[in-house]
Structure 1
């Protein structure tokens, strides 16, 4: 018996990919580089309001240093643009200038890299040039696959504890379908991004649209059957069973209650009536 077909009528990933293309088309360019992490090769223009003699353009050296008037050599690699501004302001305020207003601009970006894996069309290592957002990296990777789920994970080096990593979760439904661009986080040097696969449930047998459907929390058996178009005239509604994997082994669950919740990966089988 064939339990499910591979083709999904309206895959969640396809819907997200379509909306993603629309979002990228209408989204304004991201110009704010305040959270960009500076590294070797970046060229910075630093200005101090009211002190044009201190304006300087410097390329970050291999050891992460720049030279700044009055202050000499400064180590700035690994700092965000906003942090560099604060640091220089603090140093200038210590005996040089009263209440200095420092602005830092990136004249030239170095090439950075990040990895994106999982349910994207072209997973792999990508070069970043300038400020690159999550959605832009997904677009660089060819967009989402038809099997993409509603979650992405971003793993990056912690800036608070050396040697440790931080993991953030991105809700793709809120970001892409609902347009909450606050979740379109910048991608940083060394980030690893994983787009999860959608959980599926399978409804087969005597239903009008036997197929695979996206799993959602609190989906009941009867809701899954409704998603599949409901029972056919030949269905034996009282003999519904579930094939479920437990610890890697398939188990058959019968005598089910229609209000029981299903689990991701469940196969709901509706047999034909004997009469």
Structure 2
């Protein structure tokens, strides 16, 4: 089984414990112990896989602070060399004012602008949007690593390369309790991976995405997943642990 930009292909059987599932929104239903909280097996990698066509960077979605150019062919006065998305994710364009851009690809934004101009101002407009600058995309690495922190995301980054950025795991790290938190379609997902199996080539590495949070557990604890549950109210993923 291989994982590439969130897409799943059939492959060898899982030989170690991989646990992933939608994060519980109601903790009353969750019992102590990770095995009772989430299913194991092939569903693990599938849980954090993106829908077909949503890999990076072909489907980059604009966000506040990004800078784009807007060219309206044959209408120089309507073209803008550089314009930033404001904090609400809007673009301010000649004649039409605010246009929602956040959450759209460049092609989708082009079509949206064409529709607005065509409605009242320009006959058969042709619009091209080019992304010129993007906000810094990051991942976070926490827990039992030598240098926890927030790091710039690079295309193709994996779980192992993220741990390398954090100067690898500590002696106390529990290598079979390395968690990944990811948001897909506005839903937070969580997973547990065995780094020893990945390092040994027995399991595929996991391709990370911007915004992923990696948490490395520590030996002697009740488990990295339960530790993460206790910490999660501070970052708004779960309700408080009872």
* TM-score, with length taken from structure 2: 0.45
Per chain length, whose mean CA-contact separation is higher, i.e. which structure has more relative contact order (CA < 8 Å, sep 6+)? 2
Q: Structure 1 length as normaliser, TM-score?
A: 0.41
Query: Which one has a bigger Cα radius of gyration?
Result: 1
